[in-house]
Amino acid sequence: EPPDTPKDFSCQTRDMRIVTCSWSQGGDTYLYGENLPKYSLSEESSQKMIPCTASCSKQCSCSWNIDQQRIWNVTVTVENALGKKTATDVFNVNHRIYPTAPFQLWEKCTDTEITLHWNHPNNKIELFCQTEVLQPDGKVELHNSSGMHLPHKSITVGGLQPFTEYTVRVRCGAAEHFWRWSEWSEALTIRTEEATPSGNLDIWREITPVLGGRNVTLFWKQAPGFRANGRSISYEVTWEKTEDESRPESISFSSVYNSTRIFIDNHSYKISIMAKNNVNFSLPSVLIISRATENSMKILFCSFLGTEELKAERVKGTDDGIFISWEPRCIYDSYIIDWCNFPKLQPCDLQWKRFGANTSSAVINSAAFVPGVRYNFHIYGSVGNRASLLEKKTGYLRELPPLLDPIVEKVELTFSAVTLSWDSYPTNESQSGFVGGYHVYVSPIQENCSLKGSKKHILSDNSELCEYTIENPEEKRYTVKHLMSNTKYRLAVKAYTGGGETPIVNFIYIDTPYNSNMLYFLLLLVIVPTLVAAICHWKQKWVKECCCPAIPSPNKSKVLSFKEFKIGSEKVLKISDCIPDMLAMDSKAEAQKL
């Protein structure tokens, strides 16, 4: 095949003495040996061949000495036995400068500035150079500078962080007629000088009253704006009374420490903590611990109001953490919330977070938070570096069912009821959720339950239990009524939380006794009638005379022993023959009639 037209043909110089032209050689011609494509360069203005030999690998190039000529019209010709093709580039050498990479970089630096120097082999070319500064966080900054015809050039980069490593490199291009950048120089890693620590430490305290004073555990951490600005850092803790000019006490710690405990008496104290490096101290962070008597007066006043002990309000977890809200008070300039990451351990890894005066809620999150652990939060208001406890909160990231079932310690049984007691069951923060109450389950063996006042509960095997609910977690006694006597029952007591309850696995079994009252009633019902019947049979004549006496004949009665006066066949008593013992009159009308 005939050769392709050379592509991307262009020429440039690095030093204003030698020009190099380059191009892409095109596709394969499938010709070999003497028939391979041959390249030649010519200058069209002078109609002369350019004395250079082309070399090709990925690209082809050809270089020659230009002497004083500045305007060039260069044509490249490629030909083989089947044809030839050409490409042309017209250029001014002054506009085609492609500098060599800067070399021999060195630096001078302070805590916030780096002055970078480098050399360039051609001092006749005025260059425009660019410095790349790679920040520690991966961010790249570019700084431009233009130099004169000097044997070495420089640039000063400011606004840097003290005692920080930066990686820099340089490239240059022609200042007057920019054609293209040179390659990057070799990268140079530079560390700025040390400086005084910047920003403040974030400090907090935990106060424990003891005999004769208080133990104060101090904590500190680097605030978001804090920078050590040095190779090594230490911490200095100083405390002094605020009421007199007593000599301050102080102690130093290495960088591996972030807490300490000191003892102070009942006076008011000012505590300050500073960071220190090889240059100087940082600004102090200050806490004021009030007099113990002031706290006592507050406790006394609260006791008078009936609010000596702040009750912890329950809070709930969310997908992002535990939501905390509080009532803002206008007198405070900030708020602090503290908590323990591991409340069941000692030390508990106390944490704290600060909020502005206009904040009244926050979502507290921590990588240490896990479901089923109760976290206690204290909310403080701070003004003038003095903190006062305002509210307490307690809650779970997510409640889980109780790990342990209540242990029934006492069973009181009658023929129709059973009373269960589980007094020792804990409802405190050892639980994996807030215990909301209890469920008592009962059912006859191999029968479904239908006791009065209960709800149905279906087990996984589709058997039915009667369910009773106790909604007071401190009520640890319950009586199940309306049981049948002489019957075997199974029972279970389960505690429930906001996370539910665990499946029923273990039952306790009881046998209700016989109903003795019913037995006595049956005995009476049989024995008493039998006894009465026997007595009646034994004293039959006496019973007959007492209960059923013989009826006398009226004709034998003395009341009829008077003179006979018959009306028909019956005797009639004349009133005149009867002398009454007493006469009673029913009314005056009857008396007058008589």
Query: SS3 sequence, 463-528?
Result: CEEEEEEECCCCCCEEEECCCCCCCEEEEEEEEEECCECCCCCCCEEEECCCCHHHHHHHHHHHHH
Here the tokens at position 140 are 């790249």
pLDDT of res. 300 = 36
Average pLDDT rounded to a whole number, residues 252-263: 94
Under CATH, to which class is 103-191 assigned? mainly beta
| Domain 309-396 CATH class label | mainly beta
Q: Give the residue-averaged pLDDT of 288-314.
A: 63
* Cα–Cα dist 354/366, whole Å: 15
Distance CA 168, CA 185 (A): 9
Q: How many CA atoms lie within 13 A of 8 on its CB side?
A: 9
**Class at the top of the CATH hierarchy for domain 201-295:** mainly beta
> Distance of CA 79 to CAs 2, 236, 294, Å?
8, 83, 103
Mean pLDDT calculated for residue range 54-61:
85
Other CB atoms within 10 A of residue 288 CB: 15
pLDDT at residue 91, as a whole number: 93
Model confidence at 214: pLDDT above 60: yes
pLDDT of residue 22: 93
Domains 7-95 and 309-396 equal at CATH topology level: yes
Q: How far apart are CA 418 and CA 415, in angstroms?
A: 8
CB atoms < 10 A from the CB of 397, how many?
Answer: 21
CA dist 291 and 586 (Å) reads 106
* pLDDT for 30: 61
Domains in the chain: boundaries: 7-95, 103-191, 201-295, 309-396, 410-512
The region of weakest confidence among 171-185, 239-253, 425-439, 514-528 is 514-528
The strand pair at 313-316 and 386-396 is best described as parallel
What would the mean pLDDT of 397-406 be, rounded to a whole number? 94
pLDDT at residue 508 greater than cutoff 80: yes
Q: Considering the entire predicted model, what is its pTM?
A: 0.69
> What is the torsion angle, in degrees rounded to the nearest 10, for the CA atoms of residue 222, residue 225, residue 231 and residue 235?
-30
**pLDDT confidence of residue 48:** 87
Residues 468-476: what's their mean pLDDT? 95
CATH 2.60.40.10 is held by the domain 410-512: yes
What is the predicted pLDDT for the residue at 4?
Answer: 81
More confident residue, 80 or 261: 261
Whether the CB-CB separation of 269 and 240 falls below 8 Å is answered with yes
CA distance 251 to 236: 6
% the chain with pLDDT above 90 = 57
CATH number for the domain formed by residue range(s) 7-95: 2.60.40.10
Q: What does the block give as tokens for 335?
A: 């708020």
Which pairs count as long-range contacts for 136-140, CB under 8 Å and 24+ apart, including other chains?
Answer: 136/161, 136/164, 136/165, 136/166
Q: Are β-strands 127-134 and 165-174 bridged in parallel, bridged antiparallel, or unpaired?
A: antiparallel
The count of other CB atoms within 10 Å of the CB of residue 447 is: 13
Q: What is the pLDDT of residue 306?
A: 41
Percent of the chain predicted with pLDDT > 70:
82
The per-residue pLDDT for 303 is 38
297 has a pLDDT exceeding 50: no
pLDDT for the residue 5: 85
Greater model confidence, 85 or 219: 219
